[in-house]
Amino acid sequence: MNLNAASPSQSNLIVEYPLHAVSDSDFVATEPAVSVDQVILKALAPEFGFDPNQTAAYNNGFRNPVFSFLTAERLFIIYGNSGLDAVRAEISNLRGRGLI
């Protein structure tokens, strides 16, 4: 079936196009969240056995897994609502599950 011939004024559209646009629209929250979280994670890292100055070990063993399992936005909200101890507790849960 030639959909373009049936409606030549319509452009080709697949559902991934608008979904991708929507998925990128949260950058106004994500960028500040990541910036704040970077400071928080560097402060907490030594408590979990990671030195932020050891970039590869810190990123691969701590920062990236924390962001993967908790997300930057979630950490940002937790910190904003409940403070550093609440973020620490979330990371401790990851450690308890063997994820960091």
Instruction: Report pTM.
Output: 0.72
Q: How far apart are the first and last CA of the chain?
A: 52
44-73 residue pLDDT tens: 999 999 999 999 999 999 999 999 999 888
Q: Is the pLDDT of residue 28 over 60?
A: no
- Region 69-78: mean pLDDT is 90
Let me know if 100 is exposed, middle or buried by CB neighbors in 10 A (0-12, 13-18, 19+). Answer: buried
Q: Is the pLDDT of residue 26 over 80?
A: no
Q: Any idea where the domains of the chain sit in the sequence?
A: 29-100
Q: Is the pLDDT of residue 42 over 90?
A: yes
